[in-house]
Structure 1
């Protein structure tokens, strides 16, 4: 049930907020244009409505200010949610990146890097290139609800990825100690690399969310030749990373 809600969270939020927004917009327009007809809701007149929203209109009506304030509040929340949606809803890349795009994307060669895993051992990506396919996923933070669900989804599908000849690697900016605690609590059975300072995240140019304030949640699949063949990003639908990635790796040789 929780998974179903999370998978449809944007639709739930949009519908849930749209209802009171449209209700108060209707009340506001009827007051502003001094009518009780529902037709005003579809009539293409907006000047006085906009003036009223920004406080540039004075109307002698007992409910005007209260209705205006409610309408204004719901409108602001809805617009912010739209911004979140376009920033958080996710993306999939299966075709080669544009030559002018400097981010690591489909067709890019995996850059060399070394980081410490949750056990404090140095892990060099060069040591596994050519031996098996790689799945590298960047996540924001150990222990957060979304990151825990994502890590556990990869854990639960570990054997399937192994059968497909794919090694799973998680990367985030927390310390080795934080990774060890996170891995132990959730029985993580693959490397979690500590990218303190976000050097590797910056190397990949992983897209951030919410105007750059939240580290992005992005998954990369790399073939045995060290070439990126798939990129998927979704901040909210954390468990979808494992699902989508598994479908891709099963098609790799």
Structure 2
């Protein structure tokens, strides 16, 4: 499994969102993208992280960033999760974990899908890789800091 690191070009991908429409990284070229991988919809940690992104969504928009959450849950699960917590950003379904493997997102304890956030600049270069299974809020704070610090 390759591992995407800071300074590398982010690999493109194509996955369905909550409505079943295919979303690609390429369609956001010219914008900042916060691509965050999380273990599972509607679990305590994942809900805390998603709500932190929701609560700071306006700051991401102001900074010109798109937020995209990725997990192996199917699109109906994502739709319920998005609706229940009024999540304003994109959730995509990586049902076969191919994108997780492409980016090299590790599993915690070899079992739990990892929680890793990638910040991708408008040219498609990875500017942050933050891996923390338990510091949910830091994913938001670190992503915003990198975007705001770059002219």
**Fold match, TM over 0.5?**
yes
1:204 match: 103
Structure 1 gap segments, 5+ residues each: 1-100
Q: TM-score, normalised by structure 2?
A: 0.96
Matched, 1:236 2:112: no
2:58 match: 159
After superposition, the CA RMSD in angstroms is 1.1
1:128 match: 28
Which structure would you say has the larger RCO, counting Cα contacts within 8 Å and 6 or more residues apart?
Answer: 2
1:138 match: 37
Which has the greater radius of gyration? 1
| CA deviation map 1:28-47 (0-9, x unaligned) | xxxxxxxxxxxxxxxxxxxx
2:91 match: 192
2:7 match: 107
Structure 2 gap segments, 5+ residues each: none
Q: TM-score, normalised by structure 1?
A: 0.58
Query: Residues 1-253 of structure 1: matches in 2 within 5 Å?
Result: 102-129=2-29, 131-210=30-109, 212-253=110-151
1:246 counterpart SS class: helix
State whether residues 223 and 252 of structure 1, in contact with CA within 8 Å, keep that contact through their aligned partners in structure 2. Answer: no
| Greater share of strand | 2
- Number of residues paired by the alignment? 151
Instruction: Measure how far apart 1:245 and its partner are.
Output: 1.2
Instruction: Measure how far apart 1:102 and its partner are.
Output: 3.4
